[in-house]
Amino acid sequence: MTDSNHPSPELPIPHWYHPDSDPLTITRGSGSWVYDEADNTYLDFCSQLYCVNAGHGNEQILSHMRDQLDRIQYVSPAQGNDTRSRLADRIADKASENLSDVIFAVSGSQANELAVQLARSVQDGQKVLTRWQSYHGSTYGGAALSGDPETRAALERHAAVTGHGKFLPPLTENGAFEAASPEELARQAADHLEFVILHEGPAAIAAVVMEPVGGTSGAYPPPADYLGRVREICDEYNVLLVLDEVITGFGRCGDWFASLGEDIRPDMITFAKGCTSAYAPLAGVLLSPEMAAHCRGEGLVTGQTFGGHPVSCAAGHGAIDAYEDGLVDNVSERSPYLAARLEALAEGHDHIAEVRGQGFLWAVRIVDPQTGEPYVHPWRDNTDENPVPAIREHARENGVLVGAGRPDTQLIVAPPFTADRTEIDTAIDTLDTAIGVVFG
């Protein structure tokens, strides 16, 4: 079978691959920049997949990895390892005070599946509630948790992914809620969660899982008091609260974890991506002392060969060093400038309904100014006339990479923490031109 549309023959089939897509072949990187095979440069304003937080080629991370390779390359996750133990302590120190222990995994999807497995093992109820307009992974369990219908549909048809329910995110678009203020939105969205818990049956529910700030589903921060109220509701109905900080953890939203400023004492946090700045695969679950005591008492019958790989853990130490040495501060110091530039971009284009985000994680929502709605909603309209990929494509041709949202009615802007004012200016100016050209 031959197909003239497939990517160049030497390219293995890419993830999230569409036959019409034209993936870049990236051969090297430095700081906020990547280079393709023809040595064209691109400002990497999506940190590849919102994960190369420390930028490309960070020497602190590389030297930790080299040292570890020289000492021992692999230790079974069923054994102890000094690098791994020290990293678990460092990660627990960065998280909120009520989290004490770490179980490592390989990917964000697996970390979420592990959190669900643990929640179900301590709770009587088995259902897990997650939000529509969310993303938690694309393995069977991760996809079942996700609110994104495209991801879910791809997996649901192949396996039973029972035991999950969904509730509405705190958003006013797409008919979720109509609220005049963030406070009203927080109250409506929290009341709705309570309604869903009551109607699913509190005793049947093990956990609520949510991203504190929405990730690829639209970088939406929680309205004030929303997360606190969610915690109260979970306490009232004896439901565990798991925060998916796979994107938002390790500085992306301006603090070590996006949930840190909020008094919500999650029972578990899942993390991945930025924990090694993506220099090697690593993920995990942060546990409350109660959850940890349960695991130590009962044991753990599952695991993965590459869970807590020592070279990945070494990369984790290097990444935390780099974040401590100023990169997380860069995010909090420079994000007001990024926010101001994005807001000015929105003012200059009536095709931008809204920009929203926190730290170095932002979404730019594109709409038809006549209707205030997306031109094409990929989950509803069966057409390839969506202008949003064309904006990304134009920006890429002019040397700036930004991400695709779920749904693809928005651009996701998430630079590495190395990004400076000049790079922010270059990226936003390029987006400005791209939007002008596409709608011109």
> Residue 103: in which H helix or E strand, if any?
strand 101-105
Task: Using DSSP bridges, classify how beta strands 127-131 and 164-167 pair: parallel, antiparallel or unpaired.
Answer: parallel
Q: Could you give phi then psi for residue 439, rounded to 5 degrees? A: -100, 5
Stretch near ligand PLP under the rule CB under 6 A, chosen from 89-97, 105-113, 314-322, 370-378 = 105-113
360 binds ligand PLP per the rule CB under 6 A = no
Q: Both tokens of residue 355?
A: 């920009």
375 binds ligand PLP per the rule CB under 6 A = no
**Residue 225: DSSP 8-state:** T
205 binds ligand PLP per the rule CB under 6 A = no
135 binds ligand PLP per the rule CB under 6 A = yes
Residue nearer to ligand PLP on the CB measure, 239 or 285: 285
**Residue 8: DSSP 8-state:** P
The separation between CA 92 and the C-alpha centre of its own chain, rounded to angstroms, equals 19
Could you tell me the strand order of the sheet in which 41-44 lies?
A: 26-30, 33-36, 41-44, 400-401
243 binds ligand PLP per the rule CB under 6 A = no
215 binds ligand PLP per the rule CB under 6 A = yes
- Mapped onto helix, strand or coil, the DSSP state of residue 379 is coil
| Least CB distance to ligand PLP at residue 336 (A) | 24
Q: Which residue among 29, 77, 108, 284 contacts ligand PLP (CB under 6 A)?
A: 108
Q: Which residue among 44, 101, 244, 255 contacts ligand PLP (CB under 6 A)?
A: 244
414 binds ligand PLP per the rule CB under 6 A = no
197 binds ligand PLP per the rule CB under 6 A = no
109 binds ligand PLP per the rule CB under 6 A = yes
State the DSSP string of 153-203: HHHHTTS---SEEEE--S-SGGGS---SSHHHHHHHHHHHHHHHHHHH-GG
Those residues whose C-beta lies under 8 Å from the C-beta of residue 358, and which sit 6 or more positions away, are 213, 219, 221, 253, 254, 258, 335
Stretch near ligand PLP under the rule CB under 6 A, chosen from 24-32, 226-234, 243-251, 360-368 = 243-251
152 binds ligand PLP per the rule CB under 6 A = no
| Least CB distance to ligand PLP at residue 400 (A) | 21
Residue nearer to ligand PLP on the CB measure, 246 or 328: 246
52 binds ligand PLP per the rule CB under 6 A = no
d(CA 2, CA 222): 48
Residue nearer to ligand PLP on the CB measure, 188 or 216: 216
Residues at the contact surface with ligand PLP, assessed by CB under 6 A: 107-109, 112, 135-137, 142, 211, 215-216, 244, 246-247, 272
